[in-house]
A and B are shown apart, each in its own frame.
Chain A
Amino acid sequence: MLNSRFIRRELTSSPQQSIILVLCVALSMVTLVSLGGFSESVDSSLLRDARALHAGDIIVHSNYDLSSPLSEAISSLRRKGMIDAVRVYEFYSLVRAPDREGSILGDLKVVETGYPFYGTVELRSGRSFRDTLQKGGIIVEENLLGRLGLKVGDRVKIGSATLTILDVVTKEPDRPVNIFSLGPRIFISAEDLNEIDLVKKGSRVMYKALLKVHDERDLETVAADLSKTAMKGQEHVETFKTSESRIKRFFDNLLFFMSLIGIFTLLLAGIGIQSALTSFLREREKTVAIMKALGGTGRFITSNFAVIVSILGITGTILGLLISFSLQGFFPVLFRGILPGDVVPVISWSAVLQGIALGVMVVALFTFLPLYRLEDVKPASILGREEIRSKRGLLYYSVFAAALILSTVMVVWRFGEVKTGLYFVSGTIALIIISSLGAEFILLFMKKADVRSLALRQAFRGLFRPGNSTRAIIITLTASLTVISAIYLIELNLDADFIRSYPADAPNLFFLDIQPSQKDEFARTLGIKTEYYPVVRARIASINGEPVNPQDEQRRVGDDLTREFNLTYRDYLLSDEKIIKGKGLYMDGWDGLQVSVLDTVLKMRGLKIGDSITFNIQGVPLEARVSSIRTRIKASIQPFFYFVFPEKSLMDAPQTIFSAVRVEKERIPGLQNLMVSRFPNVSAIDMTEMVSLFSRVMGRLSVIARFFTLFGVVAGVLIVISSVLATRYARIQEAVYFKILGARSTFVLTVFALENIILGIVSAIFALIFAQVATWIVCKKVLEIPFTLFTGTSLIIILSAIFLATTTGLLASISVLRQRPVIFLREETKE
């Protein structure tokens, strides 16, 4: 049945189309496989050692100092010899050189001797961390030295203490990346805790106890016992097995988002595979017709071509795997700033198997229909150039439906969640359908258009050339350009409206953790009239008697009710607030505690006037009735609070004061120094610097997202090349005829160039419209920031798309343009 000579000859007879097909198969899997492998590399390099990631077996943490029962329970276990334990305190505070201006926000970690139980804190000197960190000294990140112009041996002021820089930390086991940090790391010995005098009641500190169990079999029992003693909702006890590292969560989310782009690229590459194979087989229609005329059965023909396609598919899969491995080597550069540089690429066999499965599935799904089409080639087509019209019967639609279902199943499996997976598939299909409809509309217009210019008319006609994948090109380029443009436009909007155009009247220097007793003196020292906001930290225990379920809340996208909230108290509305439900901030004649709620809370849980919310303020329950719903009149960088209580109700609760002022940028360092030196417990945060940090991170993430989306654009480029190759004969024929009839080479070049320019313009305009709509939705509905069109950037996107389509099409057409008429005619006459 199989004819190996035929298969061999056919594989080598049109190498260019074969290469395109192979590249499309490779492209379909490269993103997903490389990300899968990279995920394992990150895991094994950074995250696999969960003990080191948490620096202990059991992690007890709270935003408040550990309660006496819990502390006593830990001490008791220590006395019994069951565990070792160290206390760790993490918080931000300003750090400054004593004899000069300038301070920076440091990420402080105060640790007792014994930290870390697992993993190693590596120092630049090579010395042991435990031997180096002593009372009176600190170990800092390199960044701090650079920014303050200091070196090892110099002294810095932290809180009320002046400490000496002993060494530089180069690696920290429970903080493999510092993307979440607002400042450089500073390790301080717990023996200096009182000296620095920053850990006070109400201070914004993460209190931890890291435990190491002597007998691993006691792990679960110890954790369970401590959990029973811990204050519900305030103190948390987790083991290294159950605790989800923030880093790991971040990378899981990041790589998940990237794999969305990978699935998107896979679908576009699938269109490329179908298009390339259709072109490949179209060139062989005459061969198939001859074979049938000589007695070849449909089965014989289809099976031989299926083998050819399989060989190309396997080659593409292997190439895809090789490219994926190579790409992983590039990822440390791509993810620089987010990942440390020593992530070692590993070969993930699960990613390899997944890649092979993907390659097989994609080839099978997207090549079935072109192969099926071979059935429709009739022997009589040898005698004429009649278009072969495929009958779209039950089998056609069944396969189409199967492809759709399988793709959906794969996406949903990847997501791990049906609803989100279906949203993604629907969105992608909607994008493809709308692009198709747009393409049809434009092509219809071009068909009927009465154009004066001869070259333009010929270019329009060229788009309808049999075998031209005009629709596939428009759809693929539009879809991929939409995604890449939307990512870029969202980043620009964030940058302009949130980061760069920091409002001229918005406060740029925030003061946190002012103690109530310090307020008057603070205000005198500051000397700037400003608002002081009391802040009481609390969690929500229940709403209308129904406890808040942590599992349900954490599944929600966005904010959730289980986090800690900042409550405040006042009897007036702020200038940027208004009441949307209720008669005023509070109800007259109501007994009991009242609370005014910001409408943002309603996105997490529907609430109405009269509903009751029970708060937990450091273990003390507090029930209040909803007296009004407020909204913010404009988005601004002014402080705002979700829950506002009447002034008298929370005055005696443990609290800190928060304030914010607007000063000239040059005054910030001096003012920071002044306030912190007088009030060492107060954190003074330069918001413009924070915003700048956020911008850098966002920029980095955007670059990464756009890099992966480029693969979708490559799919579009491959289809353009494939289309030109598929219609090579027709293009040569046209070029020769034009020349015979007296056209110059420039005319022929102009016609082909215009054809590709039109493809570029149509794709770019559609992509831009869709991208702007998507950006508007994200800006207005998700991020709630103003939306800007960015016409200049939009124009650049259009021009880039035109350039891409034109250059690709013309480069692929060079050999056509060089064809001499006489050679073509001679070949034709011979036939």
Chain B
Amino acid sequence: MNILEAREITKRYTIGDRQVPVLDGVSLTVMNGEFVVVEGRSGSGKSTLLSLLSGLDRPTYGRVFIEGQDITDLSEDELAPVRNGTIGFVFQSFHLVPSLTTLENVIFPAELRGDPDALKKGEELLRRVGLLERGGNFPHQLSGGEKQRCAICRAMINDPKVIFADEPTGNLDSENGRAVLELLLKLREERKTTLVLVTHDMEISKMADRIVTLKDGIITGERRHAQ
């Protein structure tokens, strides 16, 4: 079953009196449980594609479906339950709430939906990633790798169907980046979560089930990774 579907999505930004095309008629489907990497050089439109697939942004033309639901025209509030329960995000810049501790950042999405076991789940996730002792620290007290691990836990806490990761290792050194990626993939494997990951790192691409290549806003290639 297709968990994600993008039909002929086009995105143009208006800058001054010019229209700048970023994506042009991109169509894409992602199957349930699949690990898809969107690769391409800087400026190819891969982050924009991610933001459209995840509902963070709206396409100029085209439709986007998550679990069969057309999310293209949903308002921010209508997208809220989708963001809270169906999808999770991991960003390059972590984007942790600075005024919350590590544990509080992790359990926040669960608390939003009123999960009585939020704290238990959060602690378990942090233990899994080796951050339980840092649960009381604030983001500015964590290293880059620790922040990203915290962000992964946060993305996972509500057992989402899809994780969107935008260059999750982009701000990390190679060792931390490798560790974070392994963690992400391991958790994804355990929970059978669909993962759509944007990167320009070829090494990461090799681990994907499918690789979609973007260039100048259009898909120029799609290949399956040899098992």
Binding site for B on A (CB under 8 A): 384-386, 454, 461-462, 464-466, 730, 733-734, 737-747, 820-822, 825-826, 828-829, 831
Contacts of B56 in A (CB 8 A): 740, 821-822, 825
B residues 101-120 touching A (CB-CB < 8 Å): 108-109, 111-113
Q: Is A741 within 8 A of B91, CB to CB?
A: no
Question: Residue of B at shortest CB range from A743?
Answer: B112
Sample 30 A-B pairs with CB under 8 A, ordered by A number. Answer: A384-B140, A386-B140, A461-B99, A461-B100, A464-B99, A466-B98, A730-B98, A734-B97, A737-B96, A739-B76, A739-B80, A740-B56, A740-B89, A741-B108, A741-B109, A741-B112, A741-B154, A742-B80, A743-B112, A744-B77, A744-B80, A745-B76, A745-B77, A747-B112, A821-B56, A822-B57, A825-B51, A825-B91, A825-B95, A829-B47
CA distance A737 to B95 in the complex (A): 7
Given contacts A454-B111, A829-B47, whether A742 and B85 have CB atoms under 8 Å apart is yes
Q: How far is A462 from B113 in the complex, measured between Cα atoms in Å?
A: 21
Whether a CB of chain A sits under 8 angstroms from the CB of B161 is no
Interface string of B83-95 (1 = CB under 8 A from A): 1110001011101
A618–B131 alpha-carbon span in the complex (Å)? 96
Cβ distance A814 to chain B, nearest Cβ, rounded Å: 15
| Interface set of B (CB-CB < 8 Å, partner A) | 47, 51, 56-57, 76-77, 80-85, 89, 91-93, 95-100, 108-109, 111-113, 140, 154, 166
Let me know if B83 and A829 touch, CB within 8 A.
no
Chain B residues, Cβ within 8 Å of A738: 97
Contacts of B140 in A (CB 8 A): 384-386
Given contacts A454-B112, A825-B56, 11 further A-B contacts (CB under 8 A): A464-B99, A737-B95, A740-B56, A742-B81, A742-B84, A743-B80, A743-B84, A745-B77, A822-B57, A829-B47, A829-B91
- Report the bound CA distance from A740 to B96 in whole Å: 11
Distance of A831 Cα from B99 Cα, bound (Å)? 21
Q: Bound complex: CA of A739 vs CA of B79, how far in Å?
A: 9
Cβ distance B81 to chain A, nearest Cβ, rounded Å: 7
Determine if A465 and B95 form an interchain contact, defined as CB atoms under 8 angstroms apart: no
In the complex, the chain B residue whose C-beta lies closest to that of A387 is B140
Chain A residues lying within 8 Å of B82, measured Cβ to Cβ, are 742
Within the complex, which residue of A743, A821, A829 is in contact with B92, where a contact is CB–CB below 8 Å?
A829
State the CA gap A462–B97 with chains docked (Å).
11
Task: Across the interface, name the chain B residue whose C-beta is closest to A828.
Answer: B93
Decide if A822 touches B111 in the complex (CB within 8 Å): no
Q: Out of A465, A466, A740, which one reaches B83, CB within 8 Å?
A: A740
Report B-chain residues with C-beta under 8 Å of the C-beta of A454: 111-112
Q: What chain B residues lie within 8 Å of A739 (beta carbons)?
A: 76, 80, 83
Per CB-CB distance, the 10 closest pairs between chain A and chain B, nearest first, are A742-B84, A822-B57, A742-B83, A461-B99, A822-B56, A741-B109, A744-B77, A744-B80, A454-B111, A742-B80
Q: Which of B47, B89, B91, B112 has the most CB of A within 10 A?
A: B112
Give Cα distance in the complex from A746 to B78, angstroms.
12
Tell me whether A737 and B83 are in contact (CB under 8 A).
Answer: no
Q: Give A743 to B89 CA distance when docked, in angstroms.
A: 14
Distance from B112 Cβ to chain A, minimum over Cβ atoms (Å): 5
Say yes or no: A741 contacts B93, CB within 8 Å: no
Closest partner residue, chain A, to B56 (CB atom): A822
The docked-state distance in angstroms from the alpha carbon of A738 to that of B97 is 9
Per the bound structure, the CA–CA distance linking A461 and B104 in Å amounts to: 11
Which residues of A sit under 8 angstroms from B113, Cβ to Cβ? 742
Nearest A residue to B83 via CB reads A742
Nearest to B95 among chain A residues (CB) is A737
**Considering the chains assembled together, what is the distance between the CA atoms of A743 and B57 in angstroms?**
16
A148 to B100, CA, bound (A): 75
A740 to B93, CA, bound (A): 14
Given known contacts A385-B140, A461-B99, A730-B98, is B89 in contact with A742 (CB within 8 Å)? no
A465 to B, closest residue via Cβ? B99
Known: A739-B76, A741-B84. A733 touches B98 (CB 8 A): yes
Q: How far is the CB of B116 from chain A (nearest CB, A)?
A: 11
Cα–Cα, bound, A210→B77 (Å): 84
> Complex: how many Å from CA A826 to CA B84?
21
**A739: nearest residue on chain B (CB-CB)?**
B76
Task: Tell me the nearest residue of chain B to A734, going by C-beta.
Answer: B97
With CB as the reference atom, state the residue of chain B lying closest to A386.
Answer: B140
Most buried by A among B80, B93, B166: B80
Q: In whole angstroms, what is the CA distance A384 to B138 when docked? A: 14
Task: Determine whether the beta carbon of A828 is less than 8 Å from that of B84.
Answer: no
| Minimum CB distance partner of B107 in chain A | A454
**Cβ contacts under 8 Å, B77 to chain A:** 744-746
Please state if B93 and A829 are interface contacts (CB–CB under 8 Å).
Answer: yes
Please name all residues of chain B whose beta carbon is closer than 8 Å to the beta carbon of A743 when the two chains form the complex: 80, 84, 112
Cα(A739)–Cα(B91), bound, Å: 15
**A744 contacts across to B, CB distance below 8 A:** 76-77, 80
B142 to chain A, nearest CB (A): 12
- Taking the closest CB of chain A, its distance from the CB of B109, in whole angstroms, is 5
The distance from the CB of B69 to the nearest CB of chain A, in whole angstroms, is: 15
B83 surroundings in chain A (CB, below 8 A):
739-742
In the complex the two chains form, what is the Cα distance from A38 to B63 in whole Å? 69
**Minimal beta-carbon separation of A776 from chain B (angstroms):** 40
Shortest C-beta distance, B111 to chain A (Å), equals 5
**How many Å from the CB of A580 to the closest CB on chain B?**
63
B111: chain A residues at CB < 8 Å are 454
Chain B residues lying within 8 Å of A746, measured Cβ to Cβ, are: 77
**Least Cβ distance of B91 to chain A in Å?**
7
Residues of B within 8 A of A461 (CB): 99-100
- One of B80, B84, B85, B97 near A737 (C-beta < 8 A): B97
Question: Please, which residues of chain A bring their CB within 8 A of the CB of B100?
Answer: 461
CB-CB < 8 A to A730: which residues of B?
98-99
Complex alpha-carbon distance, A744 and B77, angstroms: 5
Find chain B residues with CB under 8 A from A831 CB: 93
Q: Which residues of A contact B85 (CB under 8 A)?
A: 742
Q: Which residue of A has the minimal Cβ distance to B100?
A: A461
Residue among A464, A740, A826, A831 facing the most chain B CB atoms (10 A cut-off): A740
What are the residues of chain B within 8 A of A826 when measuring CB–CB? 51
A461 to B105 alpha-carbon distance, docked (Å): 13
Q: Which residues of B contact A745 (CB under 8 A)?
A: 76-77
Q: How far is the CA of A737 from the CA of B96 in the complex (A)?
A: 8
Chain B residue nearest to A824 (CB atoms) is B95
**Of all chain A residues, which has the CB nearest B85?**
A742
Q: State whether B97 touches A828 (Cβ < 8 A).
A: no
A462 lies within 8 A of B99 (CB): yes
Residues of A within 8 A of B91 (CB): 825, 829
Q: How far is the CA of A521 from the CA of B59 in the complex (A)?
A: 104
Chain B residue, CB-CB nearest to A736: B95
Q: How far is the CB of B96 from chain A (nearest CB, A)?
A: 8
* Least distance between B114 CB and chain A CB atoms (Å): 9
Q: Which residue of A lies closest to B13 (CB)?
A: A826
User: Cα distance A434–B113 when bound, in Å?
Assistant: 41
Cα of A738 to Cα of B81 in the assembled complex, Å: 12
A438 to B57, CA, bound (A): 46
Report the separation of the CA atoms of residues A825 and B76 in the bound assembly, to the nearest whole angstrom. 15
User: B99 contacts A742, CB within 8 Å?
Assistant: no
A466 CA / B98 CA spacing, docked (Å): 10
B112→A734 contact, CB < 8 A: no
Q: Which residues of A contact B76 (CB under 8 A)?
A: 739, 744-745, 820-821
Chain A residues within an 8 Å CB radius of B112: 454, 741-743, 747
CA distance A753 to B82 in the complex (A): 25
Give Cα A466–Cα B47 distance, bound, in whole angstroms.
31
CA–CA, A734 and B83, complex, Å: 16
In the complex, what residues of B have CB within 8 A of residue A384's CB? 140
| B113 nearest CB across to chain A (Å) | 7
* A746 vs B57: C-alpha distance when bound (angstroms): 20
Measured in the bound complex, the distance between the Cα atoms of B75 and A83 in whole Å is 93
Please state if B95 and A828 are interface contacts (CB–CB under 8 Å).
Answer: yes
Q: How long is the Cα–Cα vector from A564 to B58 in the complex, in angstroms? A: 88
Q: Assuming A462-B99, A822-B57, is B109 touching A742 (CB within 8 A)? A: yes
Among the interface residues A384, A464, A465, A821, which one has the most CB atoms of the partner chain B within 10 A?
A821
Bound CA–CA A743/B113 (angstroms): 9
Q: Which residues of B contact A742 (CB under 8 A)?
A: 80-85, 109, 112-113
